[in-house]
Chains A and B, each alone.
Chain A
Amino acid sequence: MVHFDLGNISSGPKDYYDILIVGGGPAGLTAAIYAGRAGLTAAVFEKALEGGAVTQTHIVENWPGFTRIEGSELGEKFAEHARSFGAELVTAEVTKITYDNEYKYVHLDNGKVVKGKALVYATGAVPRQLNVPGEKEFRGKGVTYCAACDGYLFSGKDVVVVGGGDSACDEAHFLAKMVKSITIVQNLPYLTAAKVLQDRLFSNKNVKVVYNSLVKEIRGKDKVEEVVVVNNETGEETVIKAEGVFIYVGLVPKSDLLKDIVEVDKFGYIKTNENMETNIPGIYAIGDVRVKNLRQIVTAAADGAIAVEHAAKKYF
């Protein structure tokens, strides 16, 4: 089925907004909805596509109200909802954040600077790398972190999926329909994904799992040809022939723009209080980028609501 999506349409930013929101994932877009409802002006700066990580998620089954919805559709609904409350969605990468006593400033990659009273940082987290030989070298030559983006390019080929969590299993299930075979490489003796996701994954005949194993190296001539894995109990090495390697081994916070300004933990996640405010008044951090126990769409959305509600009372 061919879709025609309107996710990334934006207009140029004005000079000032009450609330500046960096990152247009579920956290940032919910913040925008709450800003609109509170009668505040808000701009969401997004460098890729409104909807954030959700837009590259195959299927979402734990967002209340939808037993099952495609990630890209949910992302688009979030954006539409934020727009309907007057939020400005701006396609631009924020490259720097500064502040003085009165305002916060976002510096955009097209050279513009926009100021606001409060700043909500919602940049999410990005896929963690394996840091093994060949990973960097073959990026875009077989190594990828986005099944939604690149899956079709591996139609009929043998691929490896690294990781055994929710994301790995869901994305492997998505890939199973188009690729020839999938070998999942998991470091533990079992998968950690939710049971429903595992059951669904194993309904595909072309999926197998190599447990207790770590990827040691990704090899090939011009592009990926094989993946070397080591059994972490026996030390035995196995070579798996594959043209694609999809890596889903967790996340790292995208806190680079704030990590020298506000407090972060040793992994780089931003510390906040229960109002989502950082140690700098008027700078909030929400969603996957902050220190928290559960990184999901619902919790990201909740953070957005809490932050803006607090800012609206305290600063306006």
Chain B
Amino acid sequence: MALLSAKDREYLTDLFSKEMENKVKLIYFGDSKENCEYCELEVQILDELQELSDKIIVERYNVNDHKDLVEKYEVEMVPALILTLEDGEDRGVRFYGLPSGHEFGTLVQDITTFGKGAKPDLSPNTIEKLKEIDTPVRISVFVTPTCPYCPRAVLTAHNFALINPLIKAEMIEANEFFELSNEFGVSSVPHIVINRNPNTFFIGAYPEAQYLEEVLKAIK
């Protein structure tokens, strides 16, 4: 059975045909069913997405067979999804865990952002401050698929990553990676951790300017 309804497919086909100028690569890393409960579903949803637009290219890899790529894209856990332009250059945009529920909208939004050349809609002031960052920054956004505030927190992080190659931004599905969430004391989402330091975090979907402030404060 298809995961997307006929109506959703129609809507997305239209959206992608209107919004996408560039090709977008969705690079997926997975594992066998025994090792990865949600991998099969993710493969299926990616297949369904790929069918909707010739601008969407899906590449699928098993983590155990492609050590070079795992290293290149710094894949830590599966399922992992990395979005890039057609050239495959890592722009720091990642999803760990199935982008389901409200996070599916996040994925679609990211796809169209890449489709328009990976130039996110951020204020000139934010862009300028992001460009000034000269140390590596990793933004980990813990989410649940049912959380209405989470998509925005992920999108903002992903958009930040597109501005500066030193920034990597990842969605982490908190239920799927329960141990990791526990390690970071996640009990309310979105929970945003900077540089995987359990002590530098903030909770909630902040507007762009405050979000940036929190990130800058954490890396000081």
Q: Chain A residues in contact with chain B, CB under 8 A?
A: 2-12, 47-49, 51, 55-56, 72, 75, 80, 91, 93, 95, 109-112, 139-144, 146, 148-154, 222-223, 243-244
Contact = CB atoms under 8 A, between A and B. Distances in A.
A5 B176 CA distance: 18
Nearest to B209: A109
User: DSSP majority for the A interface?
Assistant: loop
B216 to A, nearest CB: 16
Interface of B: 3-4, 8, 11-12, 15, 19, 41, 45, 98, 100-102, 104-106, 108-109, 112, 121-126, 144-152, 155, 174-175, 181, 185-189, 191, 203-205, 207-209
Contacts of B45: 4
A47 B146 CA distance: 16
A7 B187 contact: no
A72 B11 CA distance: 19
B123 A148 contact: no
A49 B151 contact: yes
A222 B101 CA distance: 30
Contact of B148 (A6, A148, A151, A222): A148
A10 B112 CA distance: 10
B203 A153 contact: no
B145 A140 contact: no
A77 to B, nearest CB: 11
A140 B126 contact: no
Given A3-B101, A47-B207, A48-B205, A150 B187 contact: yes
A155 to B, nearest CB: 8
Nearest to B204: A140
21 contacts: A3-B145, A4-B100, A4-B104, A5-B101, A6-B8, A6-B11, A7-B151, A12-B121, A49-B148, A75-B148, A110-B123, A140-B203, A141-B187, A142-B187, A144-B188, A149-B144, A149-B150, A150-B189, A153-B144, A153-B187, A244-B187
A223 B191 CA distance: 15
Nearest to A146: B147
Contacts of A150: 144, 147, 187-189
B148 A149 contact: yes
B174 A153 contact: yes
Nearest to A49: B148
A6 B105 contact: yes
Lowest 10 CB-CB distances: which A-B pairs, in order?
Answer: A111-B123, A140-B203, A49-B148, A149-B147, A109-B207, A8-B105, A4-B104, A140-B188, A55-B148, A93-B207
Contacts of A223: 185, 187
A16 to B, nearest CB: 17
A83 to B, nearest CB: 8
